[in-house]
């Protein structure tokens, strides 16, 4: 059982940066894969990035490669999403998710945070 809490969302101008954090409960955090997903109005929830619990394997959506970086600090039970060169089309609710098996598919994640709003102005 894992509880997740996102923070760090807010308003930012295009070209700016923002770092999201997701703090997790549980004593086996390092065993879980962590994913970041986002959902814009009228759009399906889509992968932003994911990181494995063991090997450090990462995967990113093509739309954010080179701009976003996912990382984790197992000692702090926290996963981060560093977002640089933000664009208006990055505006969405961002969610973190956890799963015992590494995956990039939203419907395979078992635990979800409540989401945090990111708005990028032009």
The pLDDT tens digits of the residues spanning 37-94 come to 999 999 999 999 999 998 889 999 999 999 999 999 989 999 999 999 999 999 999 9
What 3-state DSSP class applies to 31? helix
User: Would the pLDDT of 10 be above 90?
Assistant: yes
Which DSSP string corresponds to 48-79?
A: EEEE-SSS--EEE-TTTTTTEEEEEEGGGTEE
> How confident is the model over 17-41, as pLDDT tens digits?
999 999 999 778 888 999 999 999 9
How many other CB atoms are there within 10 angstroms of residue 85's CB atom? Answer: 13
pLDDT tier, 117 (very low <50, low <70, confident <90, very high otherwise):
very high
What 3-state DSSP class applies to 12? strand
């Amino acid at each position: 059982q894992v509880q997740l809490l996102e923070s760090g969302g807010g308003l930012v101008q295009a070209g700016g940066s923002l770092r999201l954090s997701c703090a997790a409960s549980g004593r086996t955090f390092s065993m879980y894969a962590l994913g970041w997903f986002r959902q814009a109005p009228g759009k399906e929830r889509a992968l932003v990035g994911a990181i494995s619990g063991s090997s450090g394997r990462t995967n990113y959506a093509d739309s954010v490669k080179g701009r976003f970086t996912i990382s984790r600090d197992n000692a702090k039970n926290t996963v981060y999403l560093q977002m640089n060169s933000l664009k208006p089309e990055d505006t969405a609710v961002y969610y973190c998710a956890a799963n015992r098996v590494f995956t990039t598919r939203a419907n395979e994640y078992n635990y979800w945070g409540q989401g945090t709003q990111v708005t990028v102005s032009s």
